[in-house]
Amino acid sequence: MRNRNRTPVALSTALCLLILAAPAAAERNGGEFRVGVGAAPVQTLFELFSDVTVAALFVGELEPSTESEQPAGFIEYVRPMGERSRMIVHFNINSYEKEYVWKDTGQLAGKVSDDFYTLMMGAKHYYVRTNSFGLYLDAMAGLCLLRSTTDIDEVETDNHTLLAYQFTPLGMRIGGAAALDLAVGLGYKGILSVGFDYEF
Protein backbone atom coordinates (compact mmCIF):
# COMPACT_ATOMS: atom_id res chain seq x y z
CA MET A 1 0.00 0.00 0.00
CA ARG A 2 2.87 2.33 0.75
CA ASN A 3 4.32 1.98 -2.78
CA ARG A 4 0.86 2.51 -4.26
CA ASN A 5 0.63 5.95 -2.61
CA ARG A 6 4.06 6.93 -3.89
CA THR A 7 3.28 6.23 -7.55
CA PRO A 8 1.20 9.35 -8.35
CA VAL A 9 3.71 11.51 -6.46
CA ALA A 10 6.63 10.09 -8.44
CA LEU A 11 4.89 10.58 -11.78
CA SER A 12 3.82 14.12 -10.87
CA THR A 13 7.41 14.94 -9.93
CA ALA A 14 8.61 13.57 -13.28
CA LEU A 15 6.02 15.73 -15.05
CA CYS A 16 7.29 18.88 -13.30
CA LEU A 17 10.90 18.03 -14.17
CA LEU A 18 10.02 17.54 -17.84
CA ILE A 19 8.30 20.92 -17.94
CA LEU A 20 11.24 22.69 -16.32
CA ALA A 21 13.70 20.98 -18.66
CA ALA A 22 11.76 21.90 -21.82
CA PRO A 23 13.50 24.31 -24.23
CA ALA A 24 12.36 27.91 -24.38
CA ALA A 25 9.75 28.99 -26.92
CA ALA A 26 11.14 29.99 -30.30
CA GLU A 27 8.83 32.88 -31.13
CA ARG A 28 6.61 33.54 -28.12
CA ASN A 29 6.45 33.27 -24.37
CA GLY A 30 3.91 31.44 -22.28
CA GLY A 31 2.10 28.23 -23.01
CA GLU A 32 -1.12 26.36 -22.42
CA PHE A 33 -2.39 24.37 -19.47
CA ARG A 34 -5.16 21.85 -20.14
CA VAL A 35 -7.30 19.58 -17.97
CA GLY A 36 -9.95 17.17 -19.18
CA VAL A 37 -11.16 13.60 -19.64
CA GLY A 38 -10.71 11.05 -22.39
CA ALA A 39 -13.19 8.28 -23.27
CA ALA A 40 -12.29 4.72 -24.38
CA PRO A 41 -8.50 4.79 -23.95
CA VAL A 42 -6.57 1.86 -25.41
CA GLN A 43 -5.46 0.61 -21.98
CA THR A 44 -8.99 -0.62 -21.28
CA LEU A 45 -8.33 -3.30 -23.90
CA PHE A 46 -6.06 -4.91 -21.31
CA GLU A 47 -9.22 -5.84 -19.45
CA LEU A 48 -9.86 -8.45 -22.13
CA PHE A 49 -6.56 -10.03 -21.10
CA SER A 50 -7.60 -9.88 -17.45
CA ASP A 51 -10.82 -11.72 -18.27
CA VAL A 52 -8.90 -14.44 -20.12
CA THR A 53 -6.44 -14.81 -17.22
CA VAL A 54 -9.17 -15.09 -14.58
CA ALA A 55 -11.10 -17.55 -16.73
CA ALA A 56 -7.99 -19.73 -17.09
CA LEU A 57 -7.30 -19.73 -13.35
CA PHE A 58 -10.87 -20.61 -12.39
CA VAL A 59 -12.16 -22.71 -15.31
CA GLY A 60 -15.89 -23.18 -15.06
CA GLU A 61 -16.05 -21.74 -11.56
CA LEU A 62 -16.43 -17.98 -12.08
CA GLU A 63 -18.45 -15.67 -14.25
CA PRO A 64 -18.17 -11.88 -14.58
CA SER A 65 -20.73 -9.78 -12.74
CA THR A 66 -20.56 -6.00 -12.61
CA GLU A 67 -17.87 -3.75 -14.04
CA SER A 68 -17.01 -0.07 -13.81
CA GLU A 69 -14.54 2.18 -15.57
CA GLN A 70 -13.23 5.64 -14.77
CA PRO A 71 -12.38 7.77 -17.83
CA ALA A 72 -8.82 8.95 -18.33
CA GLY A 73 -8.59 12.20 -16.35
CA PHE A 74 -5.64 14.16 -17.73
CA ILE A 75 -3.51 17.26 -17.38
CA GLU A 76 -1.33 18.67 -20.14
CA TYR A 77 1.27 21.37 -20.46
CA VAL A 78 1.71 22.74 -23.99
CA ARG A 79 4.78 24.84 -24.73
CA PRO A 80 5.23 26.92 -27.92
CA MET A 81 8.07 25.84 -30.20
CA GLY A 82 7.24 28.12 -33.12
CA GLU A 83 4.31 29.88 -34.73
CA ARG A 84 2.26 26.68 -35.10
CA SER A 85 4.34 23.99 -33.41
CA ARG A 86 4.02 22.98 -29.77
CA MET A 87 5.61 20.55 -27.33
CA ILE A 88 3.22 18.54 -25.11
CA VAL A 89 3.74 16.92 -21.72
CA HIS A 90 0.75 14.75 -20.80
CA PHE A 91 -0.22 12.82 -17.66
CA ASN A 92 -3.40 10.84 -17.05
CA ILE A 93 -4.92 8.38 -14.60
CA ASN A 94 -7.74 5.94 -15.22
CA SER A 95 -9.01 2.75 -13.64
CA TYR A 96 -11.13 -0.30 -14.32
CA GLU A 97 -12.82 -2.74 -11.96
CA LYS A 98 -14.72 -5.97 -12.55
CA GLU A 99 -16.44 -8.22 -10.02
CA TYR A 100 -16.79 -12.00 -10.36
CA VAL A 101 -19.29 -14.40 -8.78
CA TRP A 102 -19.14 -18.14 -8.16
CA LYS A 103 -21.28 -19.95 -10.75
CA ASP A 104 -22.67 -22.55 -8.36
CA THR A 105 -23.79 -20.15 -5.62
CA GLY A 106 -24.00 -16.74 -7.31
CA GLN A 107 -22.09 -15.22 -4.41
CA LEU A 108 -19.41 -12.61 -4.89
CA ALA A 109 -16.00 -14.24 -5.34
CA GLY A 110 -13.93 -11.07 -5.59
CA LYS A 111 -12.81 -8.45 -8.04
CA VAL A 112 -10.00 -7.41 -10.33
CA SER A 113 -8.91 -3.76 -10.17
CA ASP A 114 -6.52 -2.12 -12.65
CA ASP A 115 -5.07 1.38 -12.22
CA PHE A 116 -3.22 3.04 -15.08
CA TYR A 117 -0.77 5.95 -14.66
CA THR A 118 0.38 7.33 -18.02
CA LEU A 119 3.09 9.88 -18.76
CA MET A 120 3.77 10.94 -22.37
CA MET A 121 5.56 13.64 -24.34
CA GLY A 122 4.95 14.68 -27.91
CA ALA A 123 4.46 17.33 -30.54
CA LYS A 124 1.46 19.30 -31.72
CA HIS A 125 0.96 21.17 -34.98
CA TYR A 126 -1.84 23.60 -35.83
CA TYR A 127 -3.42 23.37 -39.26
CA VAL A 128 -5.22 26.63 -38.51
CA ARG A 129 -4.56 29.04 -35.63
CA THR A 130 -6.30 32.34 -34.87
CA ASN A 131 -6.94 34.22 -31.64
CA SER A 132 -10.20 32.36 -31.04
CA PHE A 133 -10.03 29.15 -33.09
CA GLY A 134 -7.57 26.37 -33.88
CA LEU A 135 -7.45 23.02 -35.68
CA TYR A 136 -4.52 20.74 -34.85
CA LEU A 137 -2.99 17.27 -34.83
CA ASP A 138 -0.68 15.79 -32.23
CA ALA A 139 1.33 12.65 -31.52
CA MET A 140 2.72 11.48 -28.17
CA ALA A 141 4.63 8.54 -26.73
CA GLY A 142 5.73 7.51 -23.25
CA LEU A 143 5.18 4.96 -20.50
CA CYS A 144 2.19 3.64 -18.57
CA LEU A 145 2.40 1.99 -15.16
CA LEU A 146 -0.31 -0.67 -14.74
CA ARG A 147 -1.06 -1.71 -11.17
CA SER A 148 -3.33 -4.74 -11.13
CA THR A 149 -4.92 -6.09 -7.94
CA THR A 150 -6.78 -9.42 -7.86
CA ASP A 151 -8.98 -10.08 -4.83
CA ILE A 152 -10.14 -13.66 -5.47
CA ASP A 153 -9.15 -16.28 -2.86
CA GLU A 154 -6.25 -14.01 -1.87
CA VAL A 155 -5.10 -10.49 -2.65
CA GLU A 156 -2.36 -10.28 -5.29
CA THR A 157 -0.86 -7.12 -6.76
CA ASP A 158 1.28 -6.94 -9.90
CA ASN A 159 2.99 -3.96 -11.55
CA HIS A 160 3.68 -3.73 -15.27
CA THR A 161 5.25 -1.00 -17.40
CA LEU A 162 3.67 -0.51 -20.82
CA LEU A 163 4.62 1.56 -23.83
CA ALA A 164 2.03 4.33 -24.19
CA TYR A 165 1.07 6.38 -27.22
CA GLN A 166 -1.56 8.74 -28.57
CA PHE A 167 -2.24 9.98 -32.10
CA THR A 168 -4.81 12.71 -32.58
CA PRO A 169 -5.43 13.55 -36.25
CA LEU A 170 -8.10 16.13 -35.45
CA GLY A 171 -8.31 18.46 -32.48
CA MET A 172 -10.21 21.71 -32.10
CA ARG A 173 -9.63 24.66 -29.79
CA ILE A 174 -12.54 27.11 -29.47
CA GLY A 175 -12.09 30.31 -27.50
CA GLY A 176 -9.55 32.94 -26.53
CA ALA A 177 -7.23 32.71 -23.54
CA ALA A 178 -9.76 30.33 -21.94
CA ALA A 179 -11.01 27.78 -24.44
CA LEU A 180 -12.85 24.51 -24.98
CA ASP A 181 -10.71 21.73 -26.44
CA LEU A 182 -12.21 18.77 -28.34
CA ALA A 183 -10.13 15.99 -29.90
CA VAL A 184 -10.58 12.69 -31.74
CA GLY A 185 -7.77 10.15 -31.82
CA LEU A 186 -6.50 6.76 -30.70
CA GLY A 187 -4.31 5.77 -27.78
CA TYR A 188 -3.82 6.09 -24.05
CA LYS A 189 -5.65 9.43 -23.85
CA GLY A 190 -8.79 8.08 -25.50
CA ILE A 191 -10.80 8.07 -28.70
CA LEU A 192 -12.65 11.24 -27.73
CA SER A 193 -11.37 13.82 -25.27
CA VAL A 194 -12.90 17.00 -23.88
CA GLY A 195 -10.88 19.56 -21.98
CA PHE A 196 -10.62 23.09 -20.68
CA ASP A 197 -7.61 24.99 -22.02
CA TYR A 198 -6.03 28.14 -20.57
CA GLU A 199 -3.38 30.01 -22.54
CA PHE A 200 -0.98 32.28 -20.67
Give pLDDT tens digits along the chain (200 positions). Answer: 444 445 555 555 555 555 444 443 333 456 999 999 999 898 877 665 656 555 555 656 777 777 788 889 999 999 999 889 999 999 999 998 888 888 888 888 888 889 999 999 999 999 999 989 999 999 999 999 999 888 887 788 889 999 999 999 999 999 999 999 999 999 999 999 999 999 98
19 falls within a domain: no
Q: Quick one: 128 exposed, middle or buried, by C-beta within 10 A (0-12, 13-18, 19+)?
A: exposed
DSSP H or E stretch at residue 85:
strand 85-102
CATH of the domain at 151: 2.40.160.20
54 falls within a domain: yes
Domain around 193: 2-11+30-199
Model pLDDT, residue 7: 54
16 falls within a domain: no
17 falls within a domain: no
Pairing of β 32-39 and β 62-80: antiparallel
25 falls within a domain: no
Reference 24, options 77, 90, 79, 83; nearest CA is 79
24 falls within a domain: no
21 falls within a domain: no
The total number of structural domains in the chain stands at 1
H helices of the chain, in order, are: 2-21, 46-57
SS3 content of the chain, % helix, strand, coil (to 5): 20, 65, 20
20 falls within a domain: no
